[in-house]
Amino acid sequence: MKLYIKGEKINIKPINGDSINMVKYWYGESDSYRFATGRKKAEDVLKICPDSFVSGIYTENETIIGLIIGELKKIRETVLWIRTFLIDTAWQRKQYGTYSFNLLCKHASEHLNVKRVYLSVSEENKAGISFWRKMGMSCIKTLEINDSENNSGVFIFEKVL
């Protein structure tokens, strides 16, 4: 699925060829972006399934400043699961994350009939937890992850649109 959303400050649209290197950079910079990218590789997340999207967050002059990866799921109602939400460190703390998330939610509700938005956040990601709470999301579940690289909890957040 290709997601095109035009906003006043930014546009959310499919990754173009000029932006692939930036996406690879974000996935290679685990110190700065590990919570947003997880342990995935750029090549893996750029593969699109029918109900999923990989979209860049672009400024008016076509500079990519972030990435949103998600998918629509139909259970009893249509929900949006956000897999990755990332703003480049140079653009953080300038309201671009807030604006992008709100724009995505508005579009999802009005055009895709989405009723709820879900995402997961590592319990170690204090900044992420704070951001998502400010976005009106609530923690609805805690999962314990026990594997060779990670022994921490993961919070599942929900926002009703």
What is the per-residue pLDDT for 25? 85
Q: What pLDDT is recorded for position 147?
A: 62
How many Å apart are CA 7 and CA 30, to the nearest integer?
Answer: 30
The full DSSP string for 48-98 is --TTEEEEEEEETT--EEEEEEEEEEESSSEEEEEEEEEE-GGGTTTTHHH
Residue 137 covered by a domain: no
User: 53: domain CATH number?
Assistant: 3.40.630.30
> Considering the domain boundaries, does residue 140 fall inside one?
no
pLDDT score of 39:
65
Sheet holding 116-122, edge to edge: 5-6, 10-14, 52-59, 64-74, 78-87, 116-122, 151-160, 138-146
49: containing domain: 5-119
Answer yes or no: is 88 within a domain.
yes
Instruction: Count the alpha carbons within 13 Å of 128 in the hemisphere toward its beta carbon.
Output: 22
The answer to whether position 126 is within a domain reads no
The reply to whether 113 falls in a domain is yes
| pLDDT number for residue 150 | 61
Name the stretches of the chain with pLDDT < 50: none
Residue 149 confidence (pLDDT): 61
Question: pLDDT value at position 155?
Answer: 94
Q: Is position 60 within any domain?
A: yes
Query: How many independent structural domains does the chain possess?
Result: 1
Residue 129: inside a domain? no
Residue 149 located in a structural domain:
no
pLDDT at residue number 145: 74
